[in-house]
Amino acid sequence: MRPSGRNVDELRPISIETDVTKHAEGSCLIKVGDTHVLCTASLEERVPPFLRNSGMGWVTAEYGMLPRSTSSRMRREASAGKQGGRTVEIQRLIGRSLRAGVDRQAMGERQITVDCDVLQADGGTRCASITGGWVALRLAVNKLMKAGDITTDPLMDPVVAVSCGVYAGQPVLDLDYPEDSEAGVDGNFVMTGTGRLIEVQMSAEGATFSRGQMDELMGLAEKGCAELVAAQKAATA
């Protein structure tokens, strides 16, 4: 029934290739089906002004799509002269999500910027960015710990994300683009490795949903997130 032939509670194939660029402190190329995102974590030994002399660190994120990551070419945001509303929303979500899993005191007064650049898009780019972004962050922090710059691990719990939605009347896990463009209701769920919630965003465009549907989507998300945590663990072992 799903265009891809997947079961309603089936994720797309996940692959996470680590250390894909030679410059970044941490990096991975995450593929969730045909959605491919290059995630890098960049360390800087300085923090934003509001944290100076606080002893606390900061994690932030930026997001971008290559112009032809999509079916028809999009205008390059650098040439348009600003980041669009969707981009701004997504990168704020990624940053907030990753920070929820970080002990910023243990991190010390330094900043890690996670860049998530979509090389190819097929739905769910923000969720793939969170899941892959955490892997890049994990690798950068590992490097800091190995070097002795940090002694207590500041990453308290892995962070993953998945989308769910109602497609053709049926709640399904991990929407791809053909599903996403049809779904009247969908949501993004950000969770930790221990099943705690970080962010729930459910939204209807030209439609509404019931609390029962919300619970169903929530259940699918919990299943998907557990699998994503396992994939992260395998990639960073």
β-pairing, 197-204 with 185-192?
antiparallel
Assess 88 for contact with its own copies (CB under 8 A).
yes
Applying CB under 8 A, which part among 93-101, 143-151, 162-170, 225-233 lies near its own copies? 93-101
Q: CA 201 to CA 188: how far, in whole Å?
A: 5
Quick one: 7 or 76, whose CB is closer to its own copies?
Answer: 76
Quick one: 11 or 39, whose CB is closer to its own copies?
Answer: 39
Minimum distance of its own copies from residue 172's CB (angstroms): 18
Helix (H) or strand (E) holding 162: strand 159-167
Q: CA 142 to CA 217: how far, in whole Å?
A: 34
Would you say 113 and 94 are in contact if contact means Cβ atoms under 8 Å apart? no
Q: CA 165 to CA 139: how far, in whole Å?
A: 32
Would you say 37 and 125 are in contact if contact means Cβ atoms under 8 Å apart? yes
Q: Residues 157-196: x/- map of binding to its own copies (CB under 8 A)? A: x-----------------------------x----x---x
Site residues, its own copies (CB under 8 A): 21-24, 27, 34, 38, 40, 42, 44, 62, 64, 66-73, 76-83, 85, 87-89, 92, 96, 99-100, 104, 113, 115, 117, 119-122, 157, 187, 192, 196-211, 214, 218
